């Protein structure tokens, strides 16, 4: 039987494995295998909410084993570390548990078609001190670790009888792209919620400081200026200290040093500037670009091996109709590419030629937590470029995640989960307190 192996069960890869499992896998037309280094899946665009504590990981994480059982694909845990293109083998490193005990030995899986969907990591651009002193929001473990440090910082400050030190209850977020901006607004709200649970010796407006640091002249540099202006105004109202045109030269143990020499004291530093694909991709003998993305053709096949496809953040795919531009690293791109490959891999099995992928930009939405959502919807969606704000924008923003859940669970399970969450939220604290 034709073996399709997908590596990476994130926003794009898990949708692909699920939908191929439901079609080709269920009817025995192909064997579908998902290789993933984590045990559970969490949709990355919500990671900043785990960090702030406004979303509970246990409720939203999806178990790969159960998903594979329900959707007719095989799940194999492990980290891909190499590739043998002659023998068509994907090599995995041994998988260890939290105590360092080996769970699975190094092993290899055979493929006829391989899809790489291993996402991206943050890019520290070689800045000293980032690895040691800052947290990047790349995995649920990191987001959870940041949240525990945040709660501990508040418990410590509350119990302390001496005045707060300059860095205490100060958070510096480096990078004012969507992740940084959304995290700043989310943290503003979550820290006030946290204090409201009897941590009354902390005075939010006086004691808590949030800094958002961006090297470009404006926040959200990749998005239209109107979104950037509107988000900046909202953050200013919340008294988030926005530093634009400010390049970080070094992250110190309790501070950030700017290229101008200015020091911003901060107990917690989040690095949210730039992305790059995992380094191992550049060692597979396939064509990669300067940020390790696999260069693919319009059909999402890698340029040097037509059996190997790549999608999502780890792929540099041409944006057809936009000369010289690449499909941006976003959840909606990963979603569209996986839908495209569901159709095209089935066609390929029937001996039909592959059709090119056309990315449709539906616009950009930035969530400012409980306070607002701003963005624009693009021509493809509304027949023009439409500015959206407030409740409607919030609804559109939430619907991106709902589309992902629908691709994984189908409409009814997604709808029932939504109703169940709506009810259970009434009986829980609004922010995770541990």
Ligand X SMILES: Cc1cc2nc3c(=O)[nH]c(=O)nc-3n(C[C@H](O)[C@H](O)[C@H](O)COP(=O)(O)OP(=O)(O)OC[C@H]3O[C@@H](n4cnc5c(N)ncnc54)[C@H](O)[C@@H]3O)c2cc1C
Applying CB under 6 A, the residues found at the interface with ligand X are: 7-13, 35-38, 44-45, 47-48, 79-80, 117-119, 137, 178-179, 278, 312-314, 329-332, 334
Comparing CB distances to ligand X, the nearer of 41 and 88 is: 41
Nearest approach, Cβ of 113 to ligand X (angstroms)? 17
Residue nearest to ligand X (CB): 10
Minimum gap (Å) between residue 46 Cβ and ligand X: 7
Nearer to ligand X, 93 or 433 (CB): 93
> Given the complex with ligand X, which of 8 and 31 has the nearer CB atom?
8
- For the bound state, the minimum distance from the C-beta of residue 387 to ligand X, rounded and expressed in Å, comes to 18
Kindly state the smallest distance separating residue 138's Cβ from ligand X, in Å: 6
Whole-number minimum distance, CB 166 to ligand X, in Å? Answer: 28
Minimum CB distance to ligand X, residue 196 (Å): 25
For ligand X, give the closer residue by CB, 223 or 242. Answer: 223
- To ligand X, the closest distance from the beta carbon of 11 in angstroms equals 3
Q: Which is nearer to ligand X, 255 or 357 (CB)?
A: 357
| Residue number with CB closer to ligand X (195 or 374) | 374
- CB of residue 280 to ligand X, shortest distance in Å: 6
Taking the least distance from each CB to ligand X, the nearer of 145 and 201 is 145
Secondary structure of the chain in HEC code, one letter for each residue: CCEEEEECCCCCHHHHHHHHHHHHHCCCCCEEEEEECCCEECCHHHHHHHHHCCCCHHHHCEEHHHHHHHCCCEEEECCEEEEECCCCEEEECCEECCCCCEEECCEEEECCEEEECCCCEECCCCCCCHHHHCEECCCHHHHHHHHHHHHHHHHHHHHCCCCCCCCCCEEEEECCCHHHHHHHHHHHHHHHHHHHCCCCCCCHHHHCEEEEECCCCCCCCCCCHHHHHHHHHHHHHCCCEEECCCCEEEEECCEEEECCCCEEECCEEEECCCEECCHHHHHCCCCECCCCCEEECCCCEECCEEEEEECHHHEECECCCCCCCECCCCHHHHHHHHHHHHHHHHHHHCCCCCCCCCCCCCEEEEEECCCEEEEEECHHHHCCCEEEEHHHHHHHHHHHHHHHHHHHHCHHHHHHHHHHHHHHHHHCCCCCCC
Between residues 9 and 129, which has the closer beta carbon with respect to ligand X?
Answer: 9
């Amino acid at each position: 039987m034709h073996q399709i192996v997908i590596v990476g069960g994130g926003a794009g890869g898990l949708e692909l494995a699920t939908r191929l499992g439901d079609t080709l896998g269920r009817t025995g037309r192909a064997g579908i295998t998902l290789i993933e280094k984590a045990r559970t899946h969490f949709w990355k665009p919500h990671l900043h909410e785990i960090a702030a504590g406004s979303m509970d990981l246990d409720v939203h994480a999806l178990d790969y084993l159960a998903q594979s059982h329900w959707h007719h694909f095989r799940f194999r845990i492990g980290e891909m570390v190499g590739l043998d293109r002659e023998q068509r083998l994907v090599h995995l490193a041994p998988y260890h548990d939290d105590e360092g005990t080996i769970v699975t030995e190094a092993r290899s899986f055979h493929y006829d078609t391989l899809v790489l969907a291993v996402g991206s990591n943050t890019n520290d651009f070689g800045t000293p001190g980032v690895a040691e002193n800052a947290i990047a929001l790349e995995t649920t473990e990191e987001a959870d670790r940041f949240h525990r440090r945040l709660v501990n910082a508040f418990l410590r400050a509350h119990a302390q009888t001496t005045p707060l030190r300059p860095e205490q209850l100060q958070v510096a977020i480096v990078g004012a792209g969507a992740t940084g901006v959304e995290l700043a607004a989310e943290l503003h709200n979550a820290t006030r919620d946290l204090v409201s649970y009897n941590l009354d010796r902390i005075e939010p407006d006086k004691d808590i400081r949030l800094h958002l640091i961006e090297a470009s002249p404006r926040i959200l540099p990749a998005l239209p200026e109107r979104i950037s202006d509107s988000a900046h105004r909202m953050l200013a109202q919340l008294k988030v200290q926005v530093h634009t045109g400010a390049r970080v030269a070094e992250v110190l143990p309790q501070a950030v040093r700017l290229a101008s020499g200015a020091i911003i004291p901060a107990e917690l530093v989040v690095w949210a500037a730039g992305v790059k694909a995992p380094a191992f991709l550049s060692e597979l003998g396939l064509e990669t670009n300067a940020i390790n993305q696999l260069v693919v053709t319009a059909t999402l096949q890698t340029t040097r091996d037509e059996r190997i496809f790549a999608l999502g953040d780890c792929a540099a795919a041409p944006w057809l109709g936009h000369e010289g531009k690449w499909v941006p690293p976003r959840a909606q791109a990963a979603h569209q590419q996986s839908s495209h490959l569901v159709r095209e891999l089935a066609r390929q099995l029937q001996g039909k030629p592959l059709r090119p992928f056309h990315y449709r930009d539906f616009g950009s939405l930035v969530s400012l937590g409980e306070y607002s959502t701003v963005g624009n919807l693009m021509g493809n969606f509304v027949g023009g470029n439409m500015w959206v704000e407030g409740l409607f924008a919030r609804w559109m923003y939430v619907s991106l995640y709902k589309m992902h859940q629908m691709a994984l669970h189908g409409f009814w399970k997604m709808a029932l989960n939504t109703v169940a969450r709506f009810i259970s939220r009434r009986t829980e604290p609004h922010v995770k307190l541990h």
